[in-house]
Structure 1
Amino acid sequence: MVDVVDGGNATSTFTDTLDGGNAFTIYGPGLVPVPSMDPVPHVEITLDTVVPGTVTATLYRIQDDRTMRVRGLVNVPAAGGFGGIDTEPPLQQTVSYRAEYFDVNGVSLGFGETSDTYVDYAGTVIHQPIDPSRGVSVLLAQGAAKTLSRPFEGEVIKPIGRSVPVYIGTGRSGLEDINVDCVTFTAEDAARMSSVFGGYDGDEQLPVVCFRSSLPTGLPAVMFMVVPKPAAEPYAYAGGEEAVMWRLSGQEVAPPVEGIVRPLLAYSSLENAYATYADIEGAYLTYLDAETDFDLAGA
């Protein structure tokens, strides 16, 4: 029996959104976790039912009581369904997803149902949020994230006529003075870590990285941190000439704008997989089928 909150059709699946009695079932996202460096652990997402009248949609990821918009799936065209890849899910923790739907005027039509998944990847991954193809799996150094500090921002003042000072603050900041020193063991992984921060001749990247780990570090499950001075040094104790110790220190910041990303599955992926546009049309029944052919991601 579904609760009715709007006096409408009792078969409505909208239990917490006023929907005018629409009995159309809005299922949660279809989720496929990919626990491998392909190029980073991710979740493939498909939504094939939307609220009638939907023009655009935004997908949200919910974990540890924190709600974040999924990168690349913000205000996307959604009439008939939509899909994409979340390259920033937490590792070895249950995570939930749900979509919010909007009409042609940008007015919210409510949320669909929630779906859960679990990315069973053991390890620590650092990648460039704007370009998830730039990522690497690392070994955290001993003492990494040993001390965690979230200071309060404010000052103590002494008003005239008061014998005891008054604290005036603006709340707590994110984590500061974070140390996530780590090791790569091969020349290939060292190159991947270097690419996270970019190079020369137009290969500029943000100093903000996405950090995820299955280890009990005490850090947020999905943390964005600015690393203004990444440094590399030989790591002789690893028993190999290619091992590198990466000195990564910085502070927690908000993620880069979630609408900006270099997609793993783009139209160019279809162009590279098929000889002609007619071949593309013949391979898929709907645009959604093409948009969610995740086997072509990275092509």
Structure 2
Amino acid sequence: MTLIVRATPADRPSPYIDVLVTDPLGERFTVTRMCGGRSFKVRGMVNVSSAGGGTIRDHEAGFDVPSTYRVEYFTSGASVGFSETATGTLYGLEPGWAWFSDPLNPESAVKVRLLNGAASALSRSTPAELLEVPRRSVGFTLPGTRGGLKQVVLDCYTETREDGERFDALFGGYDSDALSIVCVRASPETWLPPTLFAFVGSPVAHPVGQRGDALTWSLSGDETSPPAPAFVTPLLEYDDFTAWFATYDEFEASYPDYLTAQSDYSVRGA
């Protein structure tokens, strides 16, 4: 079994880490990313058939911090072991900038400039129950688990009308069922989690200048769990190959196996 990761800072559609799994053990496998003291299942690499392996571009990896990946193998639904780990680090995000995206659609990613005041106060509370005890002057506290960030400010700026429209679409539209859950990837100096999933219910856009192409955005959100990691809009589809190759024989002659074809993003948009 081989696990290979490669960080790529290209902005198409956003920086990512390539994850490649070949010859995995067991019947099925799941890849986990560990970063910043947290673990996330890699979107699109959950409960994958071991036949032929698998590959994905991880558009949720954080910047300027190591992302460590590990494969877990399953047979008949039971875990049968883990792979060795592999680590990659994404670089290239300038301080003061961040990538926002719909977790279910990597193509939605928009790079924005954070405004002064963004992430200036980070609050995480711990629920607790105070029990008053007869004949005791001080009661007992039963604390819960510390929660995620609450009402974190994510104010930002989009310079062009295209970016403004794409950014607005992250939160849904009149005929859209978008979840209003965004994946935010900022650089470490913000003290935000390397990968933050936040529910932003009421984004406010403020047009700037006479043309109004630029927008400042007033955003605040609560940290939340990401959408189910088994779901993702693929960047590479069957139609891409049928548009690129005239015949199936031509397709087969171009790749030694299906795994190689799955990682050939040069055919996108043919």
Q: TM-score, normalised by structure 1?
A: 0.83
Seen in structure 2, the aligned counterparts of structure 1 residues 32 and 295 have a Cα distance that, compared at 3 Å, is farther
Q: Is the 8 A contact 2:188 2:194 kept in 1?
A: no
Query: Match of 1:45?
Result: 19
- For 2:89 and 2:143, the matched residues in 1 are separated by 38
Seen in structure 2, the aligned counterparts of structure 1 residues 142 and 149 have a Cα distance that, compared at 3 Å, is same
The equivalences for 1:1-299 within 5 A come to 26-27=1-2, 29-51=3-25, 54-103=26-75, 105-122=76-93, 123-201=97-175, 203-236=176-209, 241-297=212-268
Letter of the 1:242 counterpart: D
- For 1:265 and 1:59, the matched residues in 2 are separated by 19
Q: Is the 8 A contact 1:269 1:297 kept in 2?
A: yes
Aligned-pair CA distance for 1:155:
2.7
How many pairs does the alignment contain? 267
Q: Note the residue ranges of structure 2 that are not aligned, 5 or more in a row.
A: none
Q: Is the 8 A contact 1:223 1:252 kept in 2?
A: yes
Aligned-pair CA distance for 1:225:
0.6
- For 1:297 and 1:120, the matched residues in 2 are separated by 25
- For 1:235 and 1:59, the matched residues in 2 are separated by 43
Aligned-pair CA distance for 1:297:
4.9
Aligned-pair CA distance for 1:295:
2.8
Residues 109-156 of structure 1 show CA distances to partners (whole Å, capped at 9, x for unaligned) of: 211121111211213100000111111000000011111111111232
- For 1:33 and 1:268, the matched residues in 2 are separated by 27
SS in structure 1 opposite 2:145? strand
Q: Which has the higher strand share?
A: 2
Query: Match of 1:21?
Result: none
- For 2:230 and 2:30, the matched residues in 1 are separated by 10
Q: Is the 8 A contact 2:36 2:65 kept in 1?
A: no
Aligned-pair CA distance for 1:245:
0.7
- For 1:114 and 1:295, the matched residues in 2 are separated by 28
More displaced stretch, 123-132 vs 259-268: 259-268
Aligned-pair CA distance for 1:200:
2.2
Residues 4-53 of structure 1 show CA distances to partners (whole Å, capped at 9, x for unaligned) of: xxxxxxxxxxxxxxxxxxxxxx33x22232213211111122122322xx
Residues 200-247 of structure 1 show CA distances to partners (whole Å, capped at 9, x for unaligned) of: 22x2211110000125111100010100111111234xx974210111
Identity percentage over the alignment?
36
Q: Is the 8 A contact 2:171 2:200 kept in 1?
A: no
- For 1:144 and 1:240, the matched residues in 2 are separated by 25
- For 2:37 and 2:84, the matched residues in 1 are separated by 17
Aligned-pair CA distance for 1:60:
0.9
Q: Is the 8 A contact 1:264 1:298 kept in 2?
A: no
Q: Is the 8 A contact 1:121 1:214 kept in 2?
A: no
Letter of the 1:57 counterpart: F
- For 2:107 and 2:39, the matched residues in 1 are separated by 24
SS in structure 2 opposite 1:194? helix
- Which structure has the greater CA radius of gyration? 1
Aligned-pair CA distance for 1:253:
0.7
SS in structure 1 opposite 2:189? coil
Q: Is the 8 A contact 1:185 1:243 kept in 2?
A: yes
Seen in structure 2, the aligned counterparts of structure 1 residues 215 and 185 have a Cα distance that, compared at 3 Å, is farther
Seen in structure 2, the aligned counterparts of structure 1 residues 143 and 208 have a Cα distance that, compared at 3 Å, is same
- For 1:66 and 1:276, the matched residues in 2 are separated by 45
Aligned-pair CA distance for 1:271:
2.6
Q: Note the residue ranges of structure 1 that are not aligned, 5 or more in a row.
A: 1-25
- For 2:92 and 2:244, the matched residues in 1 are separated by 29
Q: Is the 8 A contact 1:36 1:121 kept in 2?
A: no
Letter of the 1:130 counterpart: L
- For 2:265 and 2:50, the matched residues in 1 are separated by 18
Letter of the 2:193 counterpart: P
